Amino acid sequence: MADVSPTVRQRELGMRLRRFRNAKGLTVEEVAEKLLCSATKISRAETGARKPTLRDVRDLCGIYGVDPETSAELMELARQAREPGWWTQYDDLQITPFIGLEQEATAITCFGMYFVPALLQTKDYAREMIRGIAPKINPDILGQRVEARMRRQQLLQQPRPPRYRALLDEAVLRRQVGGPAVMKAQLEKILLLVQEEKATVQVIPFEVGAYAAIDSNFDYLEFGGSSLPGLVFVEGLVSHLYLERPADLERYSEALEYLRDEALSPRDSAKRIEEIRDGTASP
């Protein structure tokens, strides 16, 4: 239990507190009035956007009439949620909550429309990609972001890694990020991860034309064997979306199913990547 990502514990705690509030028939505003705090504070704790204090959890358990044994479990969740994950040392990262969730997912499906997903990137590709997005970035911060990205990739090298699937638009593989040498090494890394069965990669070829989700990059995380629902993460230039409503998850799940059907098979995708690497594929 102690090895579980604190971000996951934070989300689990919020979900359980929300269930107890609903079971008691209380609104967020009513609970906030009882605790003499803002409704936003309660709402953010329930969505996992904020870490509630141990005192908050104790008081909420009292309001909801939670039994002593369950209250102790929730207090322990709150303690674990406040433990720092390795990613918290990188203060500049804007997606630390996502990294914490990524570490605990049992399945990750990523759709890449514009760039190679972070878990598949080489160090040189990552550096050029980050520099391209933020041309004026401080060199020290650039180094920290690249280091953090490489550390995230250890997830795929664990004895029991998550099932990882990447659906990539062909344009991602042809875009010359960092130049021909950097891209050749990047394509070789993707092929190696596929060969080692660390990742399943499917290419959506140019001949498909327009297709579902053509306007966004996103990650779909699943937490098998857990009470936690799935989650969709949409990374933006200045802000990010975390989607977990059933209707949103269903829509993205349908989009992924469509993309898998439109994409080349894993075997044909590997062949297409080899052709692009060798410069033999027609543009």
Q: What tens digit of pLDDT does each residue of 229-283 get?
A: 888 988 776 667 888 888 999 999 999 999 999 999 999 999 999 999 998 766 6
Q: In the chain, what percentage of residues exceed pLDDT 90?
A: 56
CA separation, residue 53 to residues 150, 199, 239 (Å): 32, 39, 26
Q: For 13-25, what is each residue's pLDDT tens digit?
A: 888 899 899 999 9
Q: How confident is the model at residue 2 (pLDDT cuts 50, 70, 90)?
A: very low
Topology (CATH) of 91-278: Endonuclease; Chain A (3.30.870)
> Cα–Cα–Cα angle for 184, 187, 193, nearest 5°?
140
Q: In the chain, what percentage of residues exceed pLDDT 70?
A: 89
Gap between the Cα atoms of 213 and 262, Å rounded: 12
pLDDT the model gives residue 76 = 85
Phi then psi for residue 231, to 5 deg, are: -150, 140
Q: How confident is the model at residue 1 (pLDDT cuts 50, 70, 90)?
A: very low
DSSP string, the chain: -TTS-HHHHHHHHHHHHHHHHHHHT--HHHHHHHHTS-HHHHHHHHHTSS---HHHHHHHHHHHT--HHHHHHHHHHHHHHTSPPGGGG-TT-S-HHHHHHHTT-SEEEEEESSS--GGG--HHHHHHHHHHH-TT--HHHHHHHHHHHHHHGGGGGSSSPPEEEEEEEHHHHHS-TT-HHHHHHHHHHHHHHHHTTS-EEEEE-GGG-S-TTTT--EEEEE-TTSS---EEEEE-SS-EEEE--HHHHHHHHHHHHHHHHHSPPHHHHHHHHHHHHHT-S--
Residue 219 burial (10 A CB sphere; 0-12, 13-18, 19+): buried
- Report whether pLDDT(155) > 50: yes
Write down the architecture of domain 6-83 according to CATH. Orthogonal Bundle (1.10)
Which residues of the chain are in CATH 3.30.870 domains?
91-278
Residue with tokens 């239990």: 1
- Side by side, which strands form the sheet with 231-235? 200-204, 163-169, 107-112, 218-222, 231-235, 240-243
Q: What does the chain come to in residues?
A: 283
The pairing of beta strand 163-169 with beta strand 200-204: parallel
Which residues of the chain are in CATH 1.10.260.40 domains?
6-83
Q: For 25-81, what is each residue's pLDDT tens digit?
A: 999 999 999 989 999 999 888 887 788 888 889 999 999 999 989 988 888 878 877
